[in-house]
A and B are shown apart, each in its own frame.
Chain A
Amino acid sequence: MKRLLVLFLATMMLLVTACSKPSEPAKNTEPSQTSDPNAAEQKISEKPIEVSWFFMSNTPYTGDEEIFKTIQKYTNIKIKPISVARADVTQKLNTVLASGSLPDLITLSRDNADRYGPQGAFLDLTPYMEAGKLDNYKAMLEKYPPAMDLTRSPNGKYYGFPRIYDVPYRADEVMLGRTDIFAKNNLSTKFETFDDLYNTLVQLKKLYPDSYPYFVRWGTPHLIGNQAYFRGTSTSFYLEPDQQKYLFGPESQAYKDTLVYLNKLYSEGLLNPNFATITDEEWNELLATNKGFVTFDYPQVGDEIVQQMGSKIPQGFEFTAMLQPAYNDKRVGTGVLSGYLGSYKVISNQTKYKDELVNFLNWMYSPQGIDAMQFGIEGESYQKNTDGTVKFLKDFQTPATPNGTIKNAGLNNQDLFTVVNQAAINTFELNGAAMKKSVQFLEENKGFGKPVFDAKFSDTNEKKEYTDLKTAIDTYVEEASVNVIIGKKSIDTWDSEVISQVKKLGSDRALELINKAYDETFKK
């Protein structure tokens, strides 16, 4: 019996040692330190190499997907993906950073890049830029001026490769509504004023008595935030585009008008009373059962809901953009994405393949790399038609082909790609009927706004002080605002009670801090 035990233990030890070997990072080739920075034409990687890439993804990637085949084909780099679900990404990233065993390539937020870069965790890109090895990257950052300032870390160096929207604009949240119901009842979808919107909602309530015509999801800040935004103000500190200066929204008359307006909608049953707690499921249900008609949301939802509902969709259902009302004769454009976005890729300082990865990321900003990350291998995954449109040669699932059999190709995945070009927007977004109609409508009516770039703090203590102040103030203002909307508190006491309390909480100091940061970011 003893012998049996010994034998068993011995086998097990063997197994342990045998199986732990593959955990070592793959070392296929020698570290190539030989590449000459002055060489005119550099290959992305001379030899085939394998690197690990940490990124966020709710569907796990195995490394066999189209996108990774594409990368290998063009760059000679095999990617071993470490994909972590969105809910867990912070925890895993923190463990990985704290333990000091970093993957070769990481997709993370600007904050993390700025914090750990200067500590030496990530590769400093500045010498590579100076040596001209990051020409595509530099050209792209210079094309969108705030990008250079925003990418630079507080210590004056560059660590991250930001995501760039290389398009005039990509639609973000817009005013959306049941345009089919509006057409049926001869109602205009172009609101001149907020009173105009109010009158329309009253009419809808008469036509559909058991509905709450105005319904917004994602909680109170989202409800008030949109109404305030289109009156040119905000629920908190915001950048005033004309003065190029931060102001505190709730102090403004426009914010008070917002609350009075929402209170009116609430008391007359025009606003879904469940606004603070409504879930996505409940919101979908209201939309699908003709109990909600006007909202602010992402225009892509118009196509998604149709797809989800399938044959059960109400006849003629259409959920597309409307023109947001003007306030004091000024119509604020909807938020758009263009140029810089604060999602970064960084290279670990421990990687064996620094030069290769620098080349790789530079490639992602080149025309070939941009198309490859969006559409795959030219001639194999897709082909470009003469009019510039993209035709896929494989059965990928895209908004235009929702029943495609290849679902997880990794193309157009925002945690993988670095640049979005117009062809990608056209292919992946504007192919849905509702989305196409929404964008066209807003374009015709000049509904789109301009991108806004917020200040970035260079001093961590000041940043913390500002964040703490802002959190306390925002929480207090939100509670007070809800009380006004549901009629528990009169707007007359707003200035004397709420604003004076906000001052006590330190709003002036917060303004001073954020304005200083803004000047430091852009007016150096």
Chain B
Amino acid sequence: MKKSPYRIKEPLGDRVFLSVVYVILAIVVLAMLYPFVYVVSVSISDPAEVIAGKVTFFPKGFDLGAFKTMINHPIFFTAYKNTIVYTALGTFFTLFFTAITAYPLSKDKFQMRSFLSKVYLITMFFGGGMIPTYLAYKSLGILDTIWVMVLPGALSAWNIILMRSFFRNIPESLSESAYIDGATDPQILIKIILPLSKPIMATIGLFTAVGIWNGYFNALLYLNDTEKYPLQMILRSILVAATFNPSEKDAYTALNHSATESLKMASIVITTLPIMCIYPFLQKYFVKGLMVGSIKG
């Protein structure tokens, strides 16, 4: 806070109240930051110190061995590339298909509007189930290809509704004046509506990107070729120690390959850092986009 000579002194009650608020917020911030700090600390600490349980907040000893192990992982770079490709393509498809679907649905003159809206709505409540979905992808021939990672999630009813509501809040007169000037619907969408819709694009884009970046389940079910695995599959294989049952004969090998704490934490840092870096840049749109439809104007 900047000290100003003209500053009005706050009453004591307010100051006490604010101090309490700050203290509570500081505790909340600490509680939220601590796991991140711990993860980073462990990942760069000497593994021996970690085993001895000496790392609690700050790193002890300095060792990048865990990161080296991660980078030397046989498919690390392939998987990283895959994740970036899936995220970029998937986000693009989602925004593209959602926008061209939401636009007609936002126009009153479109006659199938309410019928189609209902059709999309049904998919929000009823899914095909895991095996039928698998069989559908199989007969479409997209199993074990990049398309199974980016296409099925591209069109979700939820995103369509969000975007449609946003489009509807843009004054109709803008489109009407463009019509009068001879613009076609695609032109209106691209030149008028989309530039005004950055908040919703950013919101849906971010949700989708984070979802694809963090997703492992589709890859697990639909991909067989390790060369196509995204990063999260590696993270998962390192992190999720198998359900270990010592009474099982020959259970020892499950234990044998369990990763060290440092490696686990390093893998978390490597996989989550990039997507975390996107947040601050999109945050300004975020609040605006999330409030879509909350106030009827």
Are A and B a genuine interacting pair, yes or no? Answer: yes
> Interface residues, chain A, CB within 8 Å of chain B?
1-2, 5, 16, 19-20, 22-24, 52, 58-63, 80-88, 91-92, 95, 98-99, 101, 103, 172-173, 218, 221-222, 225, 280-282, 284-285, 288-289, 298, 300-301, 304, 308-313, 335, 337, 341-343, 407-408, 414
CB distance from B175 to the nearest CB of A (A): 15
Give 12 new A-B contacts, CB below 8 A, not counting A16-B142, A221-B247.
A1-B190, A20-B145, A58-B237, A58-B257, A59-B257, A62-B74, A62-B226, A82-B224, A85-B240, A101-B138, A103-B224, A341-B250
Cα distance A81–B241 when bound, in Å?
22
Question: In the complex, A294→B118 CA distance in Å?
Answer: 67
B51 contacts A281, C-beta separation under 8 Å: yes
Which B residues touch A312, using CB under 8 A?
46, 48-49, 51-52
CB distance from B142 to the nearest CB of A (A): 6
| Cα separation A239 to B244 with both chains bound (whole Å) | 23
CB distance from B250 to the nearest CB of A (A): 6
Chain B 232-263 interface 0/1 with A at a Cβ cutoff of 8 Å (1 = within):
01101110111110110110111111101100
Q: Note all chain B residues with C-beta closer than 8 A to A52.
A: 224
A60 CB contact (under 8 Å) in B146, B226, B261: B226
CB-based contact B221/A95 at 8 Å: yes
**CB nearest neighbor in B for A336:** B249
CB-contact partner of B51 in A60, A95, A284, A335, under 8 A: A284
Cα distance A218–B225 when bound, in Å?
34
Given contacts A87-B243, A92-B220, contact A23 B141 (CB under 8 A): yes
Interfacial residues of chain B within 20-70, with CB under 8 A of chain A in the complex: 46-49, 51-53
Which residue of A87, A172, A225, A304 is within 8 Å of B250 (Cβ)?
A172
Is A19's CB under 8 angstroms from B146's CB? yes
**Are the CB atoms of B147 and A20 closer together than 8 Å?**
yes
Give the CA-CA distance A99 to B132 in the complex, in Å: 8
Which listed residue, A1, A23, A88, A341, touches B220 by the CB 8 Å rule? A88
Say if the beta carbon of B124 comes within 8 Å of chain A. no
* B142 partner residues in chain A, CB cutoff 8 A: 16, 20, 23
A62 touches B227 (CB 8 A): yes
CA distance A59 to B258 in the complex (A): 10
Of chain B, the residue at the smallest CB distance from A82 is: B224
Query: In whole Å, how far is B37's beta carbon from the nearest beta carbon of chain A?
Result: 18
Q: Is the CB of A172 within 8 A of B249?
A: yes
- Least CB distance, B241 to chain A, in whole angstroms: 8
Q: In the bound complex, how far is the Cα of B258 from the Cα of A428, in angstroms? A: 17
Q: Does B202 contact A (CB under 8 A)?
A: no
Determine whether the beta carbon of A310 is less than 8 Å from that of B246. no
Asked if B236 contacts A341 (CB within 8 A), the reply is no
Q: Is B196 an interface residue (CB 8 A)?
A: no
Contact between A281 and B131, CB atoms less than 8 A apart: no
Q: Known: A19-B145, A88-B220, A91-B220. Contact between A300 and B247, CB under 8 A?
A: no
Residues of B within 8 A of A (CB-CB), count: 59
- Please state if A173 and B246 are interface contacts (CB–CB under 8 Å): yes
| Docked-complex contact B250 and A414, CB < 8 angstroms | yes
A98 to B138, CA, bound (A): 13
Docked-complex contact A99 and B138, CB < 8 angstroms: yes
Contact among A95, A173, A282, A408 for B131, CB-based, below 8 A = A95
Q: Cβ of B184 < 8 Å from any Cβ of A?
A: yes
Residue of A nearest to B72 (CB): A407
Closest to A64 in B: B74
| A62 and B75 form a contact (CB under 8 A) | yes
For the complex, give the distance between the alpha carbons of A427 and B82 in Å: 38
Name the residue on A nearest B227 (C-beta). Answer: A62
Assuming the A-B contacts A99-B134, A308-B260, are A5 and B186 also in contact, with contact meaning beta carbons closer than 8 angstroms in the complex? yes
Compute how far the CA of A135 lies from the CA of B233 in the bound complex, rounded to whole angstroms. 40
C-alpha gap A284/B256 in the complex (Å): 14
What's the Cα separation between A505 and B62 when bound, in Å? 56
Contact (Cβ within 8 A) A20 B141: yes
Residues of B within 8 A of A81 (CB): 226
Q: Specify which chain B residues have a CB less than 8 angstroms from the CB of A58 in the assembled complex.
A: 237-238, 242, 257
Q: A60-B74, A85-B233, A85-B237 are in contact. Are A1 and B186 (CB under 8 A)?
A: yes
Could you say which residues of chain B place their CB within 8 Å of the CB of A88?
Answer: 220, 236, 240
Min CB distance, A249 to chain B, in Å? 13
Which chain A residue shows the least CB distance to B143? A23
19 contacts between A and B (CB under 8 A): A16-B147, A16-B151, A19-B145, A19-B147, A23-B141, A58-B242, A60-B74, A61-B74, A87-B240, A88-B220, A98-B131, A99-B134, A99-B135, A222-B247, A280-B255, A288-B48, A298-B255, A337-B250, A343-B250
- Complex-state Cα separation, A407 to B71, whole angstroms: 13
Whole-angstrom distance between the alpha carbons of A110 and B59 in the complex? 46
Shortest CB-to-CB span from B42 to chain A, Å, is: 10
Residue of B nearest to A282 (CB): B53
Q: How distant is the Cα of A225 from the Cα of B247 in the complex, in angstroms?
A: 9
The yes or no answer to B130 lying at the interface (CB within 8 A) is yes
Cα of A284 to Cα of B141 in the assembled complex, Å: 48
User: CB-nearest residue of chain B relative to A217?
Assistant: B246
A408 to B52, CA, bound (A): 28
Most B Cβ at <10 Å: residue of A80, A83, A95, A343: A95
Contact with B221, one of A92, A173, A304, A343 (Cβ below 8 angstroms)? A92
Please report the C-alpha to C-alpha distance between residue A485 and residue B57 in the assembled complex, in whole angstroms: 36
Q: How far is the CA of A81 from the CA of B227 in the complex (A)?
A: 11
Return B238 CB to nearest CB of chain A, in Å: 8
Which of A86, A225, A308 interacts with B47 by CB under 8 Å? Answer: A308
Note all chain B residues with C-beta closer than 8 A to A341: 249-250
Please tell me if the beta carbons of A285 and B237 are within 8 angstroms of each other in the complex. no
Instruction: Verify if B187 is at the interface (C-beta below 8 Å from A).
Output: yes
Contacts of A60 in B (CB 8 A): 74-75, 226, 229, 233-234, 237
Docked CA distance A171–B184 (Å):
78
Docked Cα-Cα span, A82 to B143, in Å, equals: 13
With the chains together, A281 CA to B265 CA distance in Å?
Answer: 14
- Smallest CB–CB gap between A508 and chain B, Å? 23
B189 to chain A, nearest CB (A): 9
Contacts A298-B252, A300-B256; A311 near B48 (Cβ below 8 A): yes
A2 / chain B contacts, CB cutoff of 8 Å? 184, 186
Chain B residues lying within 8 Å of A414, measured Cβ to Cβ, are 250, 253
What residues of chain A lie closer than 8 Å to B261, measured between beta carbons? 281
Please tell me if the beta carbons of A308 and B51 are within 8 angstroms of each other in the complex: yes
Nearest CB in chain A: distance from B183 CB, A: 10
Complex CA–CA separation, A310 to B253 (angstroms): 22
In whole angstroms, what is the CA distance A218 to B241 when docked?
A: 13
